[in-house]
Structure 1
Amino acid sequence: MPYKTLENLRVLIVDDQRPFQLLLKGILYSMGATNIAFVQTGEQALSKCSHIPFDVLFVDYNLGSGKNGRQLLEDLREKKLLHPAAIYMIVTGENHVPMVIGAVEIEPDDYIIKPFSQSVLRTRLQKIQNRKAQLAPIYQAMHDDQPELVIEACKQERATSSRYQNLCTRIQAETHLKLQQYADAESLLSEVLAFNRVNWALLLQARLCFEQKRFDESMEFCNEAIDTNRLFAEAMDLKARNLIAQGQLEEAMAIVTHAVTISPFSVSRQNLLMDIARELSDLPSLVMASKQIYEITRRAARQEVIHLLNYIRTVIDAASRSEETAQRNKYQQEALLALHRAKREDTVIRDFDFELFESLCQARLESLSGQQYLAKKTYAEVAERVEAQLTAEADPETPDDVPPPPHSTADAILLLNQIGEYEQAVALADRLQSFSGVVDPVLQKLFDEQQQRVEQRRVQFQELNKRGIQSYKEGNYSQALQLFEQALDVAPMNTGSALNLIQTAIQMMADPKLKKPVDLVEKCRKTFRVVDNMPLPEHHKERYKELLNQFNKLKEEKRSFR
């Protein structure tokens, strides 16, 4: 008699190996399945699921160059394309630790290693179907994002003394934590741990203590969980967070690095590694984690360009912070390669002005190579596009819809600070604050760190420029000239100080009583290059025209200055 569990159910097999598709199809037919579809990639599976509500999915973990079984499950959940009773089973021949742990962490309904027998598959499927049927109200409430109903359904199921007591307790405790109902969560977890020190309860209790800033207690539960399971990467993540909270960054770095080795495919884990690496100025780890986040997310259904942008920004930032020339050159080359690769093959940039972003990054790289004038010239070529993006208004048909902060403006600010155009950077930053969209945390950290690094130079520049202005007002033009030159040594492309130097030089050339340095005209010509053909604020624009006219007039009047 044929096995009836799969009868009348829609089954999807996602595997890039045709022989295994046929093998599994034969097994499933003998178990009663008659409605079986096949696809070879995660992208095809996502498309098919958007049109057909499959009941059972058998998905190979490794699906070639596209999204893998873990990413497909995340995408299906994100888009709510799995109905509450659907079964998602990862089927793979991979048994490497990172693959297995990475799959288990995402919590599919089951994970089965090839090869397997029909009897094993039948038993595993029946267990899942029984559980899904018994806990249907809970899964439905979870699918509908109704946490209060989840808790109530769990309570009702636990009252029946069913075989799913532990699972219901776990789901209820997780939901209490999600709602910050700490007393209820602790009561449940204490009840479980009094009889059985299971790892899920240890981890949830550790999370509870951490969220209440009971770091020592949280650490104890983390250590107990890790002692029980040396591959418990999630407990290692939480232990690292406890160590960070207690200021033990080196120890946190060691444990999260180990967790990443065990299971590298978690975006939250890679973000944690980035945070610690940034605090420790560990540039190689910072860049590697940023790249890994981009690689993990580039095949996701909700492709977010921000991960690509932040990877390239992080590499450029690492280049700017590198003290060794070889390392700085290495990061510059990596940034250029990433820009080229993204433009050549990445669909994630399709709806984004990547050309503008690329130009701003190119200018930052030119600045790092000492080509300050070229960097400013590159910015001049795209400044109007930056301005246009910044001033773009929200859709007039939806006046309450405030657009997110323009990405290119952020990169323009990073560039302007890098070349010493502090006033323009501050002006852009002030305007950027008018956008209510959430600023990406990685970008915010890059901003904050750059601000800290340039603050000393900015203060030094402002002091020199201020003293130069004072000397000019006092008629001490030689000293003013010297101070403006020193200010431009600190910020070579600063428009305001360049105009101050030119004004001082013109004053010296025009006054017959003053002793004039022989290179004064050439110095003036060279400084004009800082502002020639550059985008200028209105007050600088008028001043530039006036000074240029004065300089040309002086040259005509005193041909000896040519």
Structure 2
Amino acid sequence: MPTSAKDDTTVKKGKILIIDDQKSAACLLKTLLNQIGYTDISMVQTAPQAIAACQHCAFDLLFVDYHLSPPLTGCELIAMLRLNNAIKPACGIVMTSGDHTSEAILTSLSIAPDAFIHKPISLGVVREKVTATLLSNQYCQTIYDTRQYNTDLAIEQCREMLSQVGNNRKLAGLLLDMLLAEERWEEAAKEAEQRLTSTPHPRLYLYQARAWYHLGHKEQAIRLLQQQLQHHPLAIELYDFLSDFLAESGHVDEALNIALKAHRQTPCIAQRTLRVAKLAADTNNHQLLFECGRSLAANQPITDPAWLDNLARYTAIIEKVYFRHHSPFFSRQLMSELEIIHRRLASRLPPAQLNTLTSFGHIYQARLGINQRPLDAKRHLLIGLSYFFSQTNKLPSAIIADALPLLIHLGEISLLGLCHYAITQQAPIGPHSQQRLDDIRQQPLLINAIKSAEKRLLEAESLKQPAPADALQVYRQVLRDYPYSSEANLGKLECLYLLGEDSDAQLIDGVKSLSLMPLPPQLSRRRQSLFDKLTARRTAAAQAVTPACLANAEN
């Protein structure tokens, strides 16, 4: 960067947060910062304290120790803060660590911090990193502000700023990110090439490769990344894009080998684990696929709300493999592996999250069994959702997205309405959940069919008291399309009760069969009401028969 470490008089003295579970290390860093003129400094020791602090104050710079106390590492904390927009886009991130292992360094670099400082920390290093980071982010904040209302203007503003301050790596990265986001591939390729003449950094080569790939120069982009990894084997982000490019170009085995290298160097990065899992499934490497599941359960950050979405993405990969292989042995092996993953996750999750995991476990069992064992699948589905019957607004989007296709298939209209309302109240929605929802939206025949069923159920409900025979016919029409629909089956039983067509014993058996699984509150009350009426009528009939029997006996 053009600004030297001594040129800190041009930098605004921002608000700084130190996150370190070792109080002595945090106090030492605070003293060093005080010595170079920074006084607005807060200190916290845990991830929850850091989250609370960031929610109440817009910090300009975070010093984050890599090894925080469990359950989160520093990198996982930063990823969560960014995902939840708890820090400004231009907030500076300086990772600190006494751990010199490649895993710690590479995992830290995976979140793209502004700087990484090894402990013990010296005054000169602090001055250099803080000055450079705050000055770069000062430039970037101006661009971020403009980008909110005019991306084209932000791009031009960024170019102008770069011409004034020189080759500022973060500012150049922001410019290239905007060009790629706007799909201005040729401009991005030229910009990267221009920057590379003065700063041959691996990340700039990555920008160039991405632009080339989208311009159709796929083999050239792949070769460029392969060459760069020979020179920079620790540039972990290059592995990710090279693996994706190879897979998209049909070189799946080679893509898997590249993805596996990145995963093994940073096992706690869930996206890399999932990339390996998908490629393992594509190459029928089932053992590696199962290893990925165990790694995901053991290493992904479980306090991050994304843990469930990551699990859903993994089970979606498993689901495709499950339906591709019809061997009973393989099915049992797969279910056994899912059980191991479930138990490992359960051992790490806080008690408040266990119901969510159990709920999701029932949902994916329903998805796997819906074709061969629809009634059993329905039972799992309703048990899974029953954990949230009294608080549907807290239904996680990953559970809703995986449950919705099943609810449509089974004709569970009431639960569809509850889930639809719950999903509209949530933001942001994870990428897997969003993909599931988009898949449903792209099936208009399916949507129209379930809307038609909903109208017929409303019609039947309005006919039930004045004309139960007509209502019964409508319910039976719905059941021809959706034979397992709870509303239609319950409505049919109510009409038969009103008409007196079946014996009370048969009707009670029908109600009991509906009692084998939980129902949402409104349907549960209807079921109980019908059961009570049938029981009362049966009791009254028995009492009426008894005196008649006695009279006959006397005669």
- TM > 0.5 fold call: yes
Question: What is the CA–CA distance in structure 2 between the aligned matches of 1:37 and 1:20, rounded to whole Å?
Answer: 14
In structure 2, the residue matched to 1:242 is: 245
Q: Is the 8 A contact 2:185 2:214 kept in 1?
A: no
Question: What is the CA–CA distance in structure 1 between the aligned matches of 2:107 and 2:149, rounded to whole Å?
Answer: 25
In structure 2, the residue matched to 1:103 is: 108
Q: Is the 8 A contact 1:356 1:408 kept in 2?
A: no
- Structure 1 portions without partners, runs of 5+: 396-401, 414-423, 449-494, 497-531, 537-562
Q: Is the 8 A contact 1:236 1:255 kept in 2?
A: yes
What amino acid maps onto 2:123 in structure 1?
Q
Change (3 A) 1:141 1:73: farther
Change (3 A) 1:406 1:228: closer
Select which of 143, 159, 163 maps to 2:163.
159
Change (3 A) 1:230 1:193: same
Question: What is the CA–CA distance in structure 2 between the aligned matches of 1:311 and 1:403, rounded to whole Å?
Answer: 12
Change (3 A) 1:302 1:361: closer
**Deviations 1:299-320 (CA, angstroms, capped at 9, x unpaired):** 4554463323444565677678
TM-score, L = length of structure 2: 0.62
Displacement after TM superposition at 1:70 (Å): 1.4
Question: What is the CA–CA distance in structure 2 between the aligned matches of 1:134 and 1:26, rounded to whole Å?
Answer: 27
Correspondence 1:16 to 2:21: yes
What amino acid maps onto 1:407 in structure 2?
D
**Deviations 1:137-159 (CA, angstroms, capped at 9, x unpaired):** 235446x4853343122121133
**Deviations 1:459-503 (CA, angstroms, capped at 9, x unpaired):** xxxxxxxxxxxxxxxxxxxxxxxxxxxxxxxxxxxx99xxxxxxx
Displacement after TM superposition at 1:428 (Å): 8.5
SS in 1 for 2:62: strand
Q: Is the 8 A contact 2:302 2:349 kept in 1?
A: no
What amino acid maps onto 1:158 in structure 2?
L
Select which of 27, 32, 39 maps to 1:27.
32
Q: Is the 8 A contact 1:13 1:58 kept in 2?
A: yes
In structure 2, the residue matched to 1:179 is: 182
What amino acid maps onto 1:41 in structure 2?
T
Question: What is the CA–CA distance in structure 1 between the aligned matches of 2:385 and 2:365, rounded to whole Å?
Answer: 18
Q: Is the 8 A contact 2:55 2:86 kept in 1?
A: yes
Correspondence 1:68 to 2:63: no
Question: What is the CA–CA distance in structure 2 between the aligned matches of 1:439 and 1:79, rounded to whole Å?
Answer: 12
Change (3 A) 1:169 1:131: closer
Change (3 A) 1:34 1:271: same
Change (3 A) 1:26 1:5: farther
Show the 5 A alignment for 1:200-349.
Answer: 200-293=203-296, 298-299=301-302, 301-303=304-306, 305-311=308-314, 331-340=334-343, 346=349
Change (3 A) 1:207 1:157: same
TM-score, L = length of structure 1: 0.62
Question: What is the CA–CA distance in structure 1 between the aligned matches of 2:377 and 2:326, rounded to whole Å?
Answer: 26
What amino acid maps onto 1:179 in structure 2?
E
Question: What is the CA–CA distance in structure 2 between the aligned matches of 1:383 and 1:275, rounded to whole Å?
Answer: 26
Return 58-67 or 358-367, whichever deviates more.
Answer: 358-367
Question: What is the CA–CA distance in structure 1 between the aligned matches of 2:71 and 2:10, rounded to whole Å?
Answer: 32
Displacement after TM superposition at 1:100 (Å): 0.8
What amino acid maps onto 2:238 in structure 1?
A
Change (3 A) 1:101 1:348: farther
Change (3 A) 1:324 1:381: closer
Displacement after TM superposition at 1:211 (Å): 1.9
SS in 2 for 1:59: strand
In structure 2, the residue matched to 1:132 is: 137
Question: What is the CA–CA distance in structure 1 between the aligned matches of 2:75 and 2:196, rounded to whole Å?
Answer: 31
Change (3 A) 1:410 1:22: same
SS in 2 for 1:112: strand
**Deviations 1:177-231 (CA, angstroms, capped at 9, x unpaired):** 1100122222323333456644223211110122233211111221232122122
**Deviations 1:323-345 (CA, angstroms, capped at 9, x unpaired):** 99998666544433444565676
Change (3 A) 1:133 1:89: same
In structure 2, the residue matched to 1:408 is: 403
What amino acid maps onto 2:276 in structure 1?
L
Correspondence 1:192 to 2:195: yes
Change (3 A) 1:304 1:360: closer
What amino acid maps onto 2:208 in structure 1?
Q
Displacement after TM superposition at 1:78 (Å): 2.8
Question: What is the CA–CA distance in structure 2 between the aligned matches of 1:195 and 1:328, rounded to whole Å?
Answer: 56
What amino acid maps onto 1:59 in structure 2?
V
Question: What is the CA–CA distance in structure 2 between the aligned matches of 1:440 and 1:87, rounded to whole Å?
Answer: 26
Change (3 A) 1:327 1:124: same
In structure 2, the residue matched to 1:82 is: 87
Return 83-92 or 272-281, whichever deviates more.
Answer: 83-92
Question: What is the CA–CA distance in structure 2 between the aligned matches of 1:293 and 1:149, rounded to whole Å?
Answer: 42
Change (3 A) 1:5 1:357: same
SS in 2 for 1:12: strand
Q: Is the 8 A contact 2:263 2:273 kept in 1?
A: yes
Question: What is the CA–CA distance in structure 2 between the aligned matches of 1:288 and 1:166, rounded to whole Å?
Answer: 38
What amino acid maps onto 1:258 in structure 2?
K
Question: What is the CA–CA distance in structure 2 between the aligned matches of 1:121 and 1:153, rounded to whole Å?
Answer: 30
Question: What is the CA–CA distance in structure 2 between the aligned matches of 1:367 and 1:135, rounded to whole Å?
Answer: 51
In structure 2, the residue matched to 1:49 is: 54
Question: What is the CA–CA distance in structure 2 between the aligned matches of 1:224 and 1:7, rounded to whole Å?
Answer: 40
In structure 2, the residue matched to 1:553 is: none
SS in 1 for 2:64: strand
Change (3 A) 1:443 1:347: farther
Question: What is the CA–CA distance in structure 1 between the aligned matches of 2:350 and 2:153, rounded to whole Å?
Answer: 40
SS in 2 for 1:116: coil
What amino acid maps onto 2:51 in structure 1?
L
SS in 2 for 1:90: strand
What amino acid maps onto 1:187 in structure 2?
K
Q: Is the 8 A contact 1:277 1:285 kept in 2?
A: yes
In structure 1, the residue matched to 2:152 is: 148
SS in 2 for 1:231: coil
Q: Is the 8 A contact 1:202 1:221 kept in 2?
A: yes
Question: What is the CA–CA distance in structure 1 between the aligned matches of 2:54 and 2:306, rounded to whole Å?
Answer: 18
